Amino acid sequence: MVVGSLATGCTSSDGAEKPKLEASVEPAADPVAEESAEPSPSASEGPSLKVGDTGTYDVVETDEYGENPSVTTTMQVTVKGAKYVEPADIDTTNEPELGQYVVLTLTLKNVGPKPADFAAYGVTTWENDGTAAQDATMLEGVGEGPELDTTYKPGQSVTGSLVLDVGAKGGIVSYSEDTFRVELPTS
């Protein structure tokens, strides 16, 4: 922000006083500091879970411009299991690109007031201390049982599995930018 003030008392070569404009520059206000202390709905981190844990996360939707986030409902996720498998165990001959297949079994339940969509393909990543987040989804991504990727009406739940391609045993699997995270076992 630029603030100007008018000062008098300067003279020109003909002896007439001329106004002098002095400008002082103040740093612009920090837009982050002006935000309220409460995080926006899109900035909230979901639960960090291990096998056997249950947590909830808010489903956040935005307007058609990707702005004005608001919480529409709440989902509950329970990590039922994480099992490392070989390609033959999931009926494929494809070797894992990152290094290791894991079957992650989850129960998802809509515990909120409105319907919610769940779609893991393309938004599930894996990382560990030495490797930055990598896309862990794959075309062989549905394990046995019902598909988790669906619309959940209030009160509805599904227990199913995702087959993920991870870099190694252990590490963290994150769904949709930390909506929820699962700490994988090391064996």
Quick check: pTM over 0.85? no
List the chain pLDDT tens, one digit each, 187 residues: 444 433 344 444 455 554 444 444 444 444 444 444 444 444 457 899 999 999 999 999 999 998 999 999 999 999 999 999 999 998 888 899 999 999 999 999 999 999 999 999 999 999 999 999 999 998 766 666 789 999 999 999 999 999 999 999 999 999 998 899 999 999 9
Position 129 scores a pLDDT of 95
User: Which domains are seen in the chain, by residue range?
Assistant: 46-183 (2.60.40.1240)
Instruction: Say if CB 172 and CB 183 are below 8 A apart.
Output: yes
- Beta-carbon contacts of 67 under 8 Å, excluding residues fewer than 6 positions away, are none
HSE of 92, CA atoms in CB hemisphere, 13 A: 18
Position 48 scores a pLDDT of 95
Phi-psi region of 69 (alpha: psi -120 to 50; beta: other; left: phi over 0): beta
Position 143 scores a pLDDT of 61
Position 45 scores a pLDDT of 76
